[in-house]
Chain A
């Protein structure tokens, strides 16, 4: 009787382990690992990347003799405290683009979960038939390397000394910067109302800005309030212009009578460095058929920018702001090294775009 109970517990435990393995996708993984098709080969590779099993992922590469293992790992897990280093592969979609008996091209849409929200990364991967299975021919990681050099940087820096607590109330203080909203345009989308526009720092000192909007209903009562959050360049140098975007999900334009805008500014220490060039800006269509504005960012300073965010403002033929979109760059901007970027916009908006302007928010470790 005693042995029977022990055997029963053992059998139940085995059953639970088996159920857990199946429900966690064990069957699917086992199928993927066999890599009998190009799609399964890519799925197997990405499943290993997802579980941070870099050795097995590296072993699945058709060209692993040509790729350094650490470079492969850095290509997918990031470096220089970039946004990718604060990300994990949440999931992926894989579908074949082209297939032949020995070679195939598979498109993978990698869904990264990052510190600033989800980011999709679309890659077309070559897959080769080697022996009895398919293996991925991983593109050689083009990791930038900055040669040792000295880059003199002598841009301005603003420091602020405010009135101290022991000073008399009549003692002079430094005023907050003067900022002005230079345009505001409400745009209705099927699922939301969006307030778009631009703000300028009119002062001669840097400003930390934030724009809030309050929607007023037909009786002039506040019905909803939102802020621009990260859809704005918060630190504005003198005479710098930033787009802003405030989303009101689930609200229609006909529900509101007016909008109360509120621009708040604070005097903050800031640096005029780094300067980032945005070159090769073009409107085109990406691999998924979406309209995008793409280009390259070039960090002209000597300090790496760990996380960069592009903010693009789009104007119609009357110079009115009709859309603002943003995108985070998942790799660090190393000095003098171009990095590609793309921000998408709705097709119906893209048809009306006459002009656009891209600004870059930057975050460097040790700086704000």
Chain B
């Protein structure tokens, strides 16, 4: 609380002195790179107190007017507007300058979604934020290289400049399932993400049924989507059989590519299959011989 109060008093003094009379004067550079020390030229005579107030830094030191004030690199790590104020026996003088981000040193890379159905258009969004080593967003345009690599498919590469520190790209999912390695890089800095390209809805879902005494073994062929990718294990397949006793339903998960159930059915029965909203074929099986 006390620090905040002092900060506001300093800010007020600085702003007042920017518009008011000037006994001493400061001449900071218009723009400074974050993390680099620099000098501020002053005019006037005698001892004074120098204040530096930035977005998240502040510093105070006793200086001699007429000599250059040395600002340490650690005092200007955060990008933004700084106000330098010097207060001597005959009043205060202030001057504002900007600290800009240093060279790119880090990438924050957002890739969404983490899973995407195959063949989905513009489904993958990759956004890269460029930061310097002090976590300042680098606003100057920088070229970011995006690279997408999928097994058994040609890699996709594009270079895009950042706009206000951000570069982004939208990508289509490939027709083949599997992990897609998405990489964003600037020079030697790179970030990797993985997007799982997963099979879409089941397509051409087919079953075969075999009677075994009072029960019927029903099994699907390998369940694949319309692009030929195997639907992942655990996907639920619903088997429905109708016989003289009524209807029987079983929700069975796919295991090693196929789903199978054993249904207690007597007499002739009609068996159908579905997975989610995808319907499969229907088979009729005769009664016990």
Chain A residues packing against B (C-beta within 8 Å): 154-156, 158, 168-170, 172-175, 182, 200-206, 237-241, 272, 275-282, 295, 298, 300, 356-359
Contacts and interface: CB of A to CB of B under 8 A. Distances in A.
Contacts of B110: 170
Contact of B248 (A239, A240, A281): A281
Contact of B253 (A156, A174, A276): A156
A238 B261 CA distance: 18
Contacts of B107: 170
B247 interface: yes
Interface stretch (B83-91, B94-102, B167-175, B198-206): B198-206
B234 A238 contact: yes
Interface in B223-239: 231-238
B252 A170 contact: no
A239 B249 contact: no
Contacts of A275: 250-253, 261
Contact of B249 (A172, A174, A200, A278): A278
A240 B223 CA distance: 15
16 contacts: A158-B234, A169-B108, A175-B113, A175-B114, A175-B115, A203-B198, A204-B235, A238-B236, A239-B231, A239-B278, A276-B251, A277-B249, A277-B263, A279-B246, A280-B247, A356-B247
Contact of B115 (A155, A170, A204, A276): A204
A156 B249 CA distance: 20
B246 A277 contact: no
Interface string B175-206: 00000000000000001011010110110000
B108 A280 contact: no
Given A155-B255, A204-B235, A237-B253, A280 B246 contact: yes
Contacts, number: 115
Contacts of A239: 201-202, 231, 235-237, 275-276, 278
A298 B252 CA distance: 13
Contacts of A298: 264
A359 B247 CA distance: 13
Given A156-B234, A282-B246, 9 more contacts: A203-B115, A238-B234, A239-B276, A241-B238, A276-B250, A278-B248, A278-B250, A281-B246, A357-B240
B142 interface: no
Question: DSSP class of A's interface residues: helix, strand, loop or mixed?
Answer: loop
B27 interface: no
B201 A175 contact: no
Nearest to A237: B236
A30 to B, nearest CB: 48
A205 B236 contact: no
B275 to A, nearest CB: 5
| Interface residues on chain B, size class | 35 or more
B3 interface: no
B112 A175 contact: yes
B50 interface: no
A279 B251 CA distance: 12
Interface of B: 107-115, 129, 191, 193-194, 196, 198-199, 201-202, 231-238, 240, 245-253, 255, 261-264, 275-278
A172 B236 contact: no
Contacts of B262: 300
A277 B250 CA distance: 5
A84 B238 CA distance: 30
A281 B277 contact: no
A241 B108 CA distance: 38
Contact of A279 (B198, B235, B245): B245
Nearest to B191: A170
Contacts of B255: 154-156
A20 B236 CA distance: 59
A172 B250 contact: no
Contacts of B246: 279-282, 295
A353 to B, nearest CB: 12
Contacts of A155: 234, 253, 255
Nearest to B192: A172
B115 A281 contact: no
Q: Which of A169, A204, A206, A276 has the most CB of B within 10 A?
A: A204
Contacts of A169: 108
B108 A170 contact: yes
B74 to A, nearest CB: 23
Contacts of A170: 107-110, 129, 191
Contact of A237 (B112, B193, B235): B235
B261 A281 contact: no
Contacts of A202: 201, 276
Contact of B111 (A172, A203, A357, A359): A172
Nearest to A155: B253
Contact of A272 (B253, B261, B276): B253
A172 B127 CA distance: 12
A156 B250 CA distance: 17
B4 to A, nearest CB: 26
Contacts of B235: 204, 237-239
Contacts of A168: 108
B166 to A, nearest CB: 12
Contacts of B108: 168-170
